[in-house]
Amino acid sequence: MNQSRDHFPEGDAFRRELNGRYRSATIGQIAFLSALLIAVISLTALLYNIVDGAFGYTAYEYKVDPSTITPKPLNELTQQELLDVLKANISSGAYNKLNNEQVMETRSQSDLLSLVLERIIRIDTKAVWSLTQSLFHKADIETEVADKYPDARLEFRSWLTMSFLSSPMSSRAEFAGARTAILGSLWLVGIAVLFALPIGVGAAIYLQEYAPKNIFTRIIQTNINNLAGVPSIVYGMLGLALFVRVLEPLTSGSLFGVTDSNGRTVLAAGLTMGVLVMPLIIINAQEAIKAVPDSLRQAAYGVGATQWQTIWHHVLPNSIAGILTGTILAVSRAIGETAPLIVVGASTFITVDPQGPFSKFTALPIQIFNWTTRAQPEFHAIAASAIIVLMVMLLSLNATAILLRNRFQRRL
């Protein structure tokens, strides 16, 4: 019986209909490609904007002429000579304060040189130009400097230097560094992940493997899914109320005998970030555990394993890839969130590195925010450098997690 042939188009009609299908597919492809192009253009624009601000010409003057201090050019002075220059030209009170922060004789030559430039010679930046301007309008810049700042030196400078990475904060943009912020961010992410990962994975295991499927667990599940979308400032307020105030003996360290501290520490901020990323970790871990095939569990039960043995030896090892993905997402979020850190009390000006979990702290997003809102263009330049540092940190942490995940996936 060929009754089915009457209801379908054949021959030319079929081909026309087929071409219609191909046309819809092409429209779809064009739409997706355009979306991809828009995304690529936006990302490129962002990267360009950042890199543009971190390199360029700068015109600056020395307030005090170096030749009045020492006959040799500054770069050629030895450590001892720099120390002598410092002792001779700054007040003993200031010298002692510097010595208390770090013993002068142990400081490196570049460190001492920066101190000399900062305290004695005193650089005064007159103007800053972006990378595009520096590359394409060099002649215009030179004429401008000759007109407006005849005494100034013109130099092409990268604001992202090794000393930028290793110097602490300073009130002068030329000498400010991101070291305290980098260390603060690392401490934060470390505490957040250490806190959230075991608890999050444990919660996921319980929800997937042990919890009965009743209305209570469904309410809990819905709540966890919603918490992943709560604005981060709300977590900041939670952190302020709970970790900074109520749990002050713990977060300030007074429980452990630390004096002279309050609740606004790296520990409180790290715990706040941990709570913030926990829903992400739970959801991803749950998906990973769900993806382990039931046949594997049955095989384990079949040889007489208990539920916990099955989970520990089979389910968990086979869901590590998904759990690491969740960790990547968590790290990315924890490193970039600014609002909760402001509420929990990150310092915007702090020169001392975090010594432990009970220290005051600052973080890269806070520093970037602070520098971007200043009036002087030099601060915008170092803000751009700090953004590059943040992105490199983020990409390295993610790359590590991805490498780990691939290694575990290939182990089979």
Interacting residues with other proteins (CB under 8 A): 213, 295-306, 309, 313-314, 318, 412
The two tokens of residue 299 are 């095989």
Nearer to other proteins among residue 296 and residue 395 (C-beta)? 296
Q: How far is the CB of 34 from other proteins (least distance, A)?
A: 42
Q: How far is the CB of 293 from other proteins (least distance, A)?
A: 8
Nearer to other proteins among residue 185 and residue 319 (C-beta)? 319
Nearer to other proteins among residue 41 and residue 299 (C-beta)? 299
Q: In the beta sheet, which residues pair with residue 60?
A: 125, 153
The two tokens of residue 371 are 């520098």
Q: How far is the CB of 296 from other proteins (least distance, A)?
A: 6
The two tokens of residue 60 are 């600056």
- Say how many residues make up the chain: 412
- The single-letter DSSP state of residue 228 is T
Nearer to other proteins among residue 312 and residue 349 (C-beta)? 312
- The single-letter DSSP state of residue 2 is -
The two tokens of residue 266 are 């790296």
What are the two backbone dihedrals, phi and then psi, of residue 350, each rounded to the nearest 5 degrees?
A: -145, 130
d(CA 92, CA 43) in angstroms, rounded, equals 51
Instruction: Give DSSP secondary structure letters for 328-357.
Output: HHHHHHHHH--HHHHHHT--SS--SPP-ST
Residue 29: which residues within 8 A CB-CB, separation 6 or more?
none
Q: Which helix (H) or strand (E) holds 406?
A: helix 377-410
Q: Which helix (H) or strand (E) holds 351?
A: none
Nearer to other proteins among residue 204 and residue 300 (C-beta)? 300
Q: How far is the CB of 210 from other proteins (least distance, A)?
A: 13
* Nearest of 83, 320, 345 to residue 204 by alpha carbon: 320
Nearer to other proteins among residue 204 and residue 292 (C-beta)? 292
Nearer to other proteins among residue 246 and residue 296 (C-beta)? 296
Contact 178, 165 (CB under 8 A): yes
d(CA 18, CA 25) in angstroms, rounded, equals 11
Q: How far is the CB of 410 from other proteins (least distance, A)?
A: 11
Nearer to other proteins among residue 318 and residue 338 (C-beta)? 318
Q: How far is the CB of 299 from other proteins (least distance, A)?
A: 4
Q: How far is the CB of 206 from other proteins (least distance, A)?
A: 17
Burial of 53: CB neighbours in 10 Å, binned 0-12, 13-18, 19+: buried
Q: How far is the CB of 212 from other proteins (least distance, A)?
A: 9
